[in-house]
Amino acid sequence: MAARKVLKMGDPLLYKRAEEVREFGTPELDALIRDMFDTMAALNGAGLAAPQIGVSQRVVIFEVQSNPRYPDAEAVPRTILINPVLELLGSEMEDGWEGCLSVPGLRGLVSRHKRLRYRGFDEKGKPIDRTVSDFHARVVQHECDHLDGILYPMRLKDIRLLGFEDALFPDL
Ligand code: NI
């Protein structure tokens, strides 16, 4: 297993709706997930969606411990989430700076729902059902957007809210 090449914004596969996973616990799925974790770790990502490594399936992973790319972010448990369904809770929105391994070097200020419930399955097909808020909720929304062909710059209210990391955060 190994870190794989991450597709960059502009690659048509990133704009496709990914397919549901139909079989759990297969060697192919396990290999995909291992490659996704290797890729995310190699690039210090907070999360990764399968389409970002060229596999158009509804699989996302995320994990935030202390992450140099997100120094102020709270921890998010290591999660494999397959065929996710999001239920946005309440109307409260929160702005936050996001980055994406498919949009290297840039950050954008994106408004996301503050609370949500997400359901789906782990790699063995065991159900996951969590209600989360804040950064955890942001990560889930960002990663699940990838499965519907949405990159965070498409969510910006104003293109001026997009910029290069070293210009926006010169002290990082
Ligand atoms: Ni992303």
Span 31-41, pLDDT tens digits: 999 999 999 99
90 CA → ligand 1 middle, Å: 24
Confidence of residue 171 (pLDDT cuts 50, 70, 90): confident
Confidence of residue 67 (pLDDT cuts 50, 70, 90): low
Average pLDDT, rounded, for the chain? 95
34 CA → ligand 1 middle, Å: 18
Confidence of residue 125 (pLDDT cuts 50, 70, 90): very high
143 CA → ligand 1 middle, Å: 6
Q: pTM of this prediction? A: 0.94
The DSSP call for residue 69 is T
Residue 70 scores a pLDDT above 70: no
Confidence of residue 144 (pLDDT cuts 50, 70, 90): very high
| pLDDT score of 121 | 98
Residue 69 scores a pLDDT above 70: no
* Mean pLDDT (whole number) for 130-145: 97
Residues 6+ positions from 121 with CB-CB distance below 8 Å: 21, 24, 81, 82, 83, 127, 128
| Assigned superfamily of 12-168 | Peptide deformylase (3.90.45.10)
Structure tokens at 135: 């950064």
| pLDDT score of 23 | 97
Residues 6+ positions from 159 with CB-CB distance below 8 Å: none
The DSSP call for residue 161 is G
Residue 71 scores a pLDDT above 70: no
Query: Which sign does the torsion angle of CA 19, 34, 126, 131 carry?
Result: negative
Of residues 19, 92, 143, 165, which has the active-site annotation? 143
| Nearest CA-CA partner of 64 in 126, 132, 4, 6 | 132
User: Which residues have CB atoms below 5 A from the ion given as ligand 1?
Assistant: 100
| pLDDT score of 74 | 81
> Is 19 tagged catalytic?
no
Distance between CA atoms of residues 89 and 77, nearest Å: 20
- Whether the CB-CB separation of 125 and 24 falls below 8 Å is answered with yes
Q: Tell me what percent of the residues of the chain surpass a pLDDT of 90.
A: 90
Q: Is 56 exposed, middle or buried (0-12, 13-18, 19+ CB in 10 A)?
A: middle
Structure tokens at 50: 């399968």
| pLDDT score of 145 | 98
Residue 126 scores a pLDDT above 80: yes
151 CA → ligand 1 middle, Å: 7
* Mean pLDDT (whole number) for 108-135: 98
